[in-house]
Structure 1
Amino acid sequence: MVQKKPVVIVTRKLPDAVETRMMELFDARLNVDDTPMSKAELVDAVKEADILVPTLTDRIDAGILAQAGPNLRLIANFGTGVDHIDLKSARQRGITVTNTPGVLTEDTADMTMALIMAVPRRIVEGVQLIDGDEWEGWSPTSMLGHRINGKRLGIVGMGRIGQAVARRAQAFGMSIHYHNQHRVHPDIEGELQATYWESLDQMLARMDVVSINCPHTPATYHLLSARRLKLIQPHAYVINTARGEIVDEPALIRMLEKGDLAGAGLDVFENEPAINPKLRKMKNVVLLPHMGSATIEGRLDMGEKVIINMKTFIDGHTPPDRVIDAFY
């Protein structure tokens, strides 16, 4: 007797190679047109699926999980962040949750470093000057930005991505500082020549560039609150390639408007895909459409991890990327 393949419902369009492999291994129901699922459609999916493969755009909250069918035993998230999944509700219902850590580290760190360079050196402004046919030639005082070499970089969240950012910034001659829930191993500190700050407040007050690289959890929601943002020096820049909810966005905008911060580089937003119109008008802010992890190689690696987690779970073993606790 041929064993029935588990029903796998995928909420968004994935790379062709990933979808092809899923169809070979499972009874995969794909989202061919890539239209985000409505809440009602997500409810239908959890009722029918043995395995759900969501992405960060799908909010799998307690209300949706309360309607899950008895066969749903695994949520294999396509992505590292799991702040869109109610982990407590999943655990109470005996549903395992996995993610795809590690594979996006280098890509996200590359984008972080790109923003660290782009904002102080006014790269986007320069492109716009050319595109608008407004450039009148070189002059000694035209398009002056700020040097990166020798500046102090404060990394909030020294996990895989934070460390990868530190390695890149070190190569550009930046001084590395960090705040983390737990101090990293002395060997890593030594390699990165990184200074640990137990107090986030004290670190923020002394940095030239602040890079946010921690996950969004209840503990990190508005970690950079209005009060903490005011601690940052007026000449400093804020870079966020993590999650928009970690920063009090209205407070950040107010400070940028008043000149209390030199600028910001944002790949994520508090209410994305909506972007505050005030941010769009600021010349000292570089905005990107949540593309920090958007490489072909990264997406294929993510898909491979999802498949490995599903296959391992179906075979009766603990998936390698089972989510237990979120920390920064």
Structure 2
Amino acid sequence: MSSPAAAPAASPAGITGTNILQVGPVNPVVSAALVEEFGATRLPDDAPARQAHLDEHGDAVRVAVCSGRFGVDADLMARLPHLEAVISFGVGYDSTDVAQAERRGITVSNTPDVLNDCVADTALALYLDVLRRTSASDRYVRAGSWETEGNFPLTTRATGRTVGILGLGRIGQAIATRLEGFGCTIEYHNRHEVEGSPYRYRSSPQELASSVDVLIVAATGGPSTRGLVDATVLDALGPQGHLINISRGTVVDQEALVDALVNGRLAGAGLDVFADEPHVPQELLGLDQVVLLPHVASGTHETRADMAALVLENLRSYLATGTLTTPIR
């Protein structure tokens, strides 16, 4: 006989399972703990059921647990008048209305640091793949083209390039460190210059793009960075330039990117993120100079386990002390 589920956790603030809401799908370990350890409820996906759930339980919700993709947006937050904390699985939190949260005194957490290495590794994998055309070469062999058409076309050297990093935060720095091993010259742009950084600072994304061979987008998503890499930045990167994006699809003007790639104004791109996931522009699917990944930069067993542990640590901390372990501000 299986043991009974643990009683819902309580805190000095009196938060119990009925006050905790899971929003959208989250990591299976987190989802199981929300039910078994905390007795939380889940917001239904079906619109009528969702409406009914909020009508009945919305006033009671004090803590919401979500993923970076399915956050607590403006409409949902407005339906939760007593919300105190949003605990998010992922480093990105642009799907949550942070501005409304700040106005209402709602604290928001994410899962920083634990995914830096795997996201940086993915950026490096895309960098090598796009320049050396690894995936395209693999398809060439599998299609029998090596035998029928001869050698694969020459590619671009990855060592010794000048690489621009848009967003020199924790992940951006981890990417830069890896690229140093390839003898690359690193430049960057942030909203503010990073004190003590050994890398050259550029005053705008356009200035950065005009001075590098490869532009890696590692900026935080959200309204302030939407469309930051626009047509002018892509044109500055130029027909010999390559773009890598492991940030958020919204940071790049996707329509302008597709146009630049299709019309040869950009040499190639490696993309782990898109503007309207999981939808990928059809125009990109047939381009051999573009590498497409299904938002898997942090998708390793080890990193996802660490992220799940940090989400639950944030929740337990809030229940016990009213504070979050990794608040975003």
Q: Scaled by the length of structure 1, what TM-score is found?
A: 0.87
Query: Going by fraction, where is helix more abundant, 1 or 2?
Result: 2
Match of 2:231 among 212, 226, 230: 226
8 Å CA contact 2:26–2:89 kept in 1: the answer is: no
CA offsets per residue over residues 61-83 of structure 1, 9 Å max, x none? Answer: 2221111153x322111111111
8 Å CA contact 1:120–1:146 kept in 2: the answer is: yes
Is the aligned partner of 1:62 residue 2:74? yes
1:41–1:303 distance in 2 versus 1, CA, 3 Å = farther
1:228–1:317 distance in 2 versus 1, CA, 3 Å = same
Match of 1:151 among 158, 161, 165: 161
8 Å CA contact 2:74–2:97 kept in 1: the answer is: yes
What is the rounded CA distance, in whole Å, between the counterparts of 2:50 and 2:168 in structure 1?
34
What is the rounded CA distance, in whole Å, between the counterparts of 1:274 and 1:281 in structure 2?
15
| Structure-2 residue corresponding to 1:201 | 206
Q: CA deviation at 1:146?
A: 0.5
Structure 2: gaps spanning 5 or more residues:
1-8
| Structure-1 residue corresponding to 2:245 | 240
Report the AA paired with residue 254 of structure 2: E
Q: CA deviation at 1:151?
A: 0.7
8 Å CA contact 1:152–1:174 kept in 2: the answer is: yes
8 Å CA contact 2:168–2:218 kept in 1: the answer is: yes
What is the rounded CA distance, in whole Å, between the counterparts of 2:113 and 2:27 in structure 1?
19
Q: CA deviation at 1:20?
A: 4.8
1:218–1:16 distance in 2 versus 1, CA, 3 Å = closer
| Structure-2 residue corresponding to 1:276 | 281
Match of 1:37 among 36, 45, 48: 45
Report the AA paired with residue 188 of structure 2: Y
CA offsets per residue over residues 252-311 of structure 1, 9 Å max, x none? Answer: 111111211100000111121111100111111000001111111111111111111111
Structure 1: gaps spanning 5 or more residues:
none
Is the aligned partner of 1:91 residue 2:102? yes
1:150–1:39 distance in 2 versus 1, CA, 3 Å = farther
1:220–1:15 distance in 2 versus 1, CA, 3 Å = closer
8 Å CA contact 1:13–1:30 kept in 2: the answer is: no
1:206–1:312 distance in 2 versus 1, CA, 3 Å = same
CA offsets per residue over residues 167-201 of structure 1, 9 Å max, x none? Answer: 11110111111111122231xx23xxx21212332
Report the AA paired with residue 167 of structure 1: T
Supply the RMSD in Å over aligned alpha carbons.
Answer: 2.4
1:40–1:207 distance in 2 versus 1, CA, 3 Å = farther
Matched position secondary structure for 1:153: strand
1:65–1:42 distance in 2 versus 1, CA, 3 Å = farther
CA offsets per residue over residues 219-240 of structure 1, 9 Å max, x none? Answer: 2110011122111121110000
Match of 1:181 among 169, 191, 201: 191
8 Å CA contact 2:120–2:175 kept in 1: the answer is: yes
What is the rounded CA distance, in whole Å, between the counterparts of 2:279 and 2:256 in structure 1?
17
What is the rounded CA distance, in whole Å, between the counterparts of 1:38 and 1:93 in structure 2?
28
What is the rounded CA distance, in whole Å, between the counterparts of 2:97 and 2:48 in structure 1?
17
CA offsets per residue over residues 122-151 of structure 1, 9 Å max, x none? Answer: 111111112223321896x63311101111
8 Å CA contact 1:37–1:58 kept in 2: the answer is: no
Q: Scaled by the length of structure 2, what TM-score is found?
A: 0.87
What is the rounded CA distance, in whole Å, between the counterparts of 2:148 and 2:182 in structure 1?
28
| Structure-1 residue corresponding to 2:124 | 113
Q: CA deviation at 1:153?
A: 0.4
8 Å CA contact 1:79–1:100 kept in 2: the answer is: yes
8 Å CA contact 1:226–1:251 kept in 2: the answer is: yes
Percent identity, please: 33
Matched position secondary structure for 2:68: coil
1:16–1:245 distance in 2 versus 1, CA, 3 Å = closer
Matched position secondary structure for 1:135: helix
1:300–1:209 distance in 2 versus 1, CA, 3 Å = same
